[in-house]
Chains A and B, each alone.
Chain A
Amino acid sequence: MTKYQSKDLKATRLGFGEALVELGKENPNVVVLGGDVTGSVRTDLFMKAFPERFISVGISEQDMMGTAAGLAVAGKIPFASTYGEFAVGRPFDQIRQSIAYSQLPVKICASHCGITVGPDGATHQSLEDIGLMRLLPHMTVATPCDYHEARKMVKASVAWKHSIYIRFFRDNTPVFTDAASPFTLGKAITLIDGTDVTVIACGLQVWEAILAEEILGAEGISARVINMHTIKPLDKEAVLRAARETGAVVTAEDHQIQGGLGGAVAELLAQEFPIPQEFVAVKDTFGESGTGEQLMKKYGIARDNIVEATRRVLQRKKNDS
């Protein structure tokens, strides 16, 4: 029996869309930019509720980012939303110059991120977005683990002073957090305490880590599970405390092995507290069509991969001592 239960299956992108409607009611300055995939990214909910504050720019993501920056100049709180690859890869230069360098607090909210977007294939599987956005000064990078956290994250982004990239997923996924538990951008959440090893996960891999912990627990391994919903700024204190207390780390994410959550954790540990780390991530390759579940297994980012990585890192820890 896991310490967390999946109470329902709901998409993080739905949490985003519903939170936008609530924000629209609370704050007249909230505006949403649509890039023709509104039904998919669930900005259709805001569009119906506040048509005058919904700005359609069509299939032109570079223009969308610039338009969002201009809306911020005029004092608006713009949410720009499309699929992950087209929200980051396509308009990267526009995000860099007109948003990040110009320090305008635009909210870039991308859905259908990661390999789990599945059947659409590699063109639509954004596996580089965390890395690209993490490279930009003044840019915050966050990704929710479930529907409730998506809602909280979107609502918290309004008061956030910096530009922010939030990464959502297409699939209906387990809802295992609740509406009431506290959430603060930049503050990691330790979901399960443990003393032998720490699994630091983000996005959909948080649930995989919870399931992996159950398997590990049965083997007598005490694994700590951290939900690192904000990848930048990284909660250094939480990572370093876990590193000191458990002596080994596994990172898990639906992203390339280079540049993502694992990279962020490794950069910190290398400088502050070098210990063995294993990476559960896509290994420098593009994806392919398939279901989300099949792809997670084939590309090595599912619960079993977390279990194997944990055994490997514990062996390294043992060899070191």
Chain B
Amino acid sequence: MEKLNVAELQELARQIRRDIIKMLLISKSGHSGGPLGTADIFASLYFNVLNLDPANPRWEGRDYFFLSAGHLCPVWYATLARRGYIPLSELTTLRKINGRLQGHPAPPWTHGVPGAEIASGALGQGLSVAVGCAIGLRLDRKPNRVYVLHGDGELDEGQIWEAAMTAAHHNVDSLIAIVDRNNCQIDNYTNKVKNLEPLADKWASFGWHVLECDGNDIGQFLSTVKQAQALKGKPTVIIAKTFMGKGVSFMEDDYKWHGVPPNDEQGKQALNELAPTKYGDFIEFEWERSRPATVEVSAK
């Protein structure tokens, strides 16, 4: 697949946001805010950054991606479907029994989804796993990179900082950690629950390269990732500033949207704000039928 350019990624990210809203309207359960806020990051990673093969998720040459903040999985599932890992129609099965789209992600050999390497959901565990994976690849002199995505609230977990020390101690420079810095967690804003600042200084003092960018600006995010890939000798963290609920006016920057789905009225309003795209929706609801039908186009 050709890498998508910034304009194409922006449209795709909007489609992924529409997918998220529709998935949540069907499941009536799941997280809204974080997934909407990270749609730009997921579109960028899976359609521009990562070396991967959707037909062979365990391809040896793949870059490894770990979602440490497992509750963000609606955006991951939508992205995996758009990228061809799973059928688009499967997005109707989020959190449903006998499905593969678990409420928090798991690998395919344990009820989960192709593309997941490991289970996540209990927070703070993904960085250790990513560090171990990167050390293992380095032992085999393999060039594969390892990416891991964290929420910012997740950084309250002590294991994150244990792993940060391990990564620095072993000079794991094939590792890029991304922090979704939306300042929100389930109870309140992060500075109300337990202040994380000065966050960049914390990572730097733990021995990491630190880059900061606007995680909702795809051009800026891509150039920051490029910069990160060129850094050697230490692991790199990208603190990507995003807005929770990005793209839906009444959800934006509101921590109350961390863990709840929209109701039908809110969902309709959200879809009105997120204009349809050339990629088309994975499902058309009954109430949408009065309008011209959208055409399904695969993003491949």
Hey, which bits of chain A sit against chain B, CB under 8 A?
A: 31, 52-53, 55-58, 60, 62-76, 78, 93-94, 96-98, 101-104
Contacts and interface: CB of A to CB of B under 8 A. Distances in A.
The 7 A-B pairs at the shortest CB distance, nearest first, are namely A70-B132, A66-B128, A74-B136, A63-B162, A60-B162, A67-B132, A70-B133
A10 B107 CA distance: 42
Nearest to B107: A102
B133 A73 contact: yes
- Most A CB within 10 A of own CB, among B64, B117, B118, B135: B118
A75 B134 CA distance: 11
A32 to B, nearest CB: 12
B165 interface: yes
Contacts of B170: 55
Contacts of A70: 118, 128-136
23 contacts: A52-B139, A60-B159, A60-B163, A60-B166, A63-B159, A63-B166, A64-B128, A66-B126, A66-B128, A66-B129, A66-B163, A67-B163, A69-B129, A71-B136, A73-B132, A74-B136, A76-B136, A76-B139, A97-B120, A97-B125, A101-B110, A102-B107, A103-B110
B122 interface: yes
B135 A69 contact: no
Interface of B: 64, 106-107, 109-110, 117-122, 125-137, 139-140, 158-159, 162-163, 165-166, 169-170
A15 B129 CA distance: 29
Given A71-B136, A73-B117, A98 B166 contact: no
B176 to A, nearest CB: 15
Given A70-B136, A73-B133, A60 B165 contact: yes
Contact of B128 (A31, A65, A74, A76): A65
B299 to A, nearest CB: 27
B139 A62 contact: no
Nearest to B106: A101
B128 A63 contact: yes
B128 A73 contact: no
Nearest to B130: A70
B136 A66 contact: no
B245 to A, nearest CB: 27
A31 B131 contact: no
A62 B136 contact: no
B119 A73 contact: no
Given A62-B159, A70-B133, A74-B140, 20 more contacts: A31-B136, A55-B132, A56-B169, A58-B166, A63-B128, A64-B128, A66-B127, A66-B129, A66-B159, A68-B132, A69-B118, A70-B135, A74-B64, A74-B132, A78-B132, A96-B122, A98-B119, A98-B125, A101-B110, A102-B110
Contacts of B158: 62
Contacts of A31: 136, 139
